[in-house]
A = this chain, B = another copy of it.
């Protein structure tokens, strides 16, 4: 092991422990890590026969992985996630719905979906129900309202969670996305809008944080230890 490798190993121990105590599978946040660092993490994981989820793994970062690791990953370029250690089994359905206002919200919505699947939940995915086309949303409200948890992904002005807030009784997690331009301010407006919503009891996660929305949903639907 070179000194550089040793130093890198020193720095990466934390990520393996992430999420363990609260009962969700391990996850590695890949943004800002070099191909070398990622390879070192995967080597260590392979040795431990660990199973975990990689998030924010860009197409370029995925392509730069060594063949020995890239082959074993179940990678999805839209959500930029990968399953390491085998794909999850079919999950529990009917408890979580992921609703997206528009096609631009797909990356965040798919990140939530993949995180849920990795942890044994098969969400109902509903796209194309933005508020600007209200009737299409209303047609599906009854279906949506039957879930214990609804994750609503929306950018720009994020009116979708507010409309759902008056229509669904379960946990409603707003997932603001960075869709839009100008005063959309990379998702800041969407985030502020859902937090300021007068529809009661909406909660929010960080902008584009599909992973966090999914873990919050898992906290609501799993039995306590």
Contact = CB atoms under 8 A, between A and B. Distances in A.
Interface residues of A, number: 97
A123 interface: no
Dominant SS among interface residues on chain A: mixed
A157 B193 contact: yes
A188 B184 CA distance: 11
A93 interface: no
B182 A202 contact: no
A207 B37 CA distance: 23
Interface stretch (A66-74, A81-89, A128-136): A128-136
Which 10 residue pairs across A and B have the least CB separation, nearest first?
A201-B215, A182-B207, A203-B203, A157-B193, A159-B159, A14-B128, A13-B128, A189-B192, A132-B166, A182-B206
Interface of A: 7, 10-15, 17-19, 21-24, 27, 29, 31-33, 37, 78, 100-104, 106, 125, 127-134, 136, 146, 148, 156-159, 162-163, 165-173, 178-209, 211-212, 214-216, 218-220, 222, 224-225
